[in-house]
Structure 1
Amino acid sequence: MRTLVVGDLHLLGSTVLPLVTAKLSDLAVDQVVLVGDYFDQWSETGNSELYQRELVFLTDWVTALRAQGTPVVCLLGNHDVPYLTGSLSHYSSADPVVGRKISAGLFQLGCQLALKSDGYLLSHAGFVDTEAPEPWYFAPLSREHLSDLNRLEHNVGFSRGGLARWGSLLWADFDTELSGYFNPDYPRQIVGHTPVPQLTRECAGGTIIDVDTFSLFSNHRPIGNGDLLLLVEGRVQTISTDFIQALAIKQAQGDLFPPSSQNWF
């Protein structure tokens, strides 16, 4: 199995996913995994048309790839769950139309919480201490699990401003929680959630890899270099992209997060 893992998108799907498409054939990819956080971006929570356009791009991209025979696994992040549970955060879009469309879109995509692949456990933020995946984490989300999902979304550790000792698989901080205190039953994990400048791994007793290389600073400048991760038979390989160049071009054209007057639904 050759699995290509893509970090957090945060309304950058129309910038990032074409870069992923360009790699699929050359890498002979068998499946793609998106680690979640498809929505929300600094200073863009009021840009309803941007949210809608990016949702359409994401769903069309995933649908087309699946139709071509390449499975795409969509994991859920802490920025996605509020749209499913209705418990919106300060970083969520407050537009009720957007919220309903995103919720429907995430169900349509068959989003799930975790995936096991080639000896690695993949999730948005990782499993810390004694937290372990439950069977329903590995299947497309059902509405019967929304209350459990809401609990996980509100289980935030001290380092991320919460009251829990550790963050859940939606919230665990890579640097202060996951790296040093990962569940020893799952010593090989791949996560996003914590922005990093490049693919980052910790190997003290395990191999914990962070792929969140597409996140931006509050001024919309890149934190990471846009690396992807290729997982092949338990081995990992860094795949570089033209993310920095693509981002710079859109910024220069004023087209990074533009509103649109087109009716996308």
Structure 2
Amino acid sequence: MKVMVIPDVHLKPWIFHRASELMKEIKPDRTVCLMDIADDWRQQFNLDLYIQTYDAAIAFAKDYPDTLWCYGNHDVCYLWNQRETGYSKIAPWTVCEKLQILRESLPDERQLAYLHRIDNVLFSHGGLTDAFVRRYVPAGKYNDIDIVIDMINGFSCGEMWQDASPIWYRPQYYEGRLYKPRKLLQVVGHTPVDRISRKGDLISCDVFSTDSSGEPIGTQEFPVINTDDWEYFGVR
């Protein structure tokens, strides 16, 4: 299956506009958004930009209803009232309302979750570690990937608001083992990188984020991944 990935958004509505154009050009079988729709450098009081970006996401969801969406830390922080870098004190009501509209726009609300699996490719914002699964999933269910995903997708702030969770983990910086490394390829955003890259069982693709001066860190490409052979390329 050919899957196009929309990496971390961070208040860039044009990402969804370009993604919509690419849907017509390359015709992927499925699309996955790694979210972090909210927050960007020095934009905490630009409520109009929050509204524009979420409205663009909602429009994309309605136009392409099969799209899967992966919660990021900058999404759930508003749902859970957790302050972090970039958090906007004036945006919580707007973000929560827009996330509800996004969720209700989907044919199945389970399309908005922490983890999604297509074939043997696992999509999440930060990455799923072996240690996290072993800590929170009963040992007897460890080898059933779908049960593991379903259980974790039912977690809330208590389990997820920590560095080792799939919304916060940064496998680019840590040597910890990912879950099922010989079985699953993981595709993640969250950690800005200068280009889409693969290392072992991990593809990193947060290439739209900017530095504190607003300059792009990465190539601003959309990864397109073949879930059968794990080959990938980027499109602009």
**What TM-score range do you get, normalising by the shorter chain?**
0.7 to 0.9
Aligned-partner residue type, residue 228 of structure 1 = F
Structure 1 residues 89 and 5, CA gap change in structure 2 (3 angstroms) = same
**How do 1:49-198 residues align onto structure 2 when only pairs under 5 Å count?**
49-66=48-65, 71-95=66-90, 96-108=92-104, 109=106, 110=109, 111-132=112-133, 133-137=148-152, 145=154, 148-156=155-163, 167-177=164-174, 180-187=175-182, 188-198=185-195
Aligned-partner residue type, residue 195 of structure 1 = P
Matches of 1:90 and 1:152, distance apart in 2:
20
Displacement, 1:90?
4.4
Matches of 2:42 and 2:157, distance apart in 1:
25
Aligned-partner residue type, residue 192 of structure 1 = G
Displacement, 1:220?
0.8
**How do 1:221-260 residues align onto structure 2 when only pairs under 5 Å count?**
221-232=215-226, 233-241=228-236
Aligned-partner residue type, residue 185 of structure 1 = K
Displacement, 1:34?
0.3
Matches of 1:236 and 1:38, distance apart in 2:
27
For the 8 Å contact 2:4–2:224, the answer to whether it is kept is yes
Structure 1 residues 65 and 128, CA gap change in structure 2 (3 angstroms) = same
Q: Which has the larger strand fraction?
A: 2
Matched, 1:201 2:198: yes
Root-mean-square deviation (CA, aligned residues, Å) is 2.0
Match of 2:138 in 1: none
Displacement, 1:126?
0.4
Length-normalised TM-score, structure 1 = 0.74
- Say how many residue pairs are matched: 213
Matches of 1:134 and 1:62, distance apart in 2:
22
Unaligned runs of 5+ in 1: 139-144, 157-166, 242-265
Matches of 2:46 and 2:202, distance apart in 1:
35
Match of 2:10 in 1: 10
Unaligned runs of 5+ in 2: 134-147
For the 8 Å contact 2:130–2:180, the answer to whether it is kept is no
Matches of 1:116 and 1:32, distance apart in 2:
12
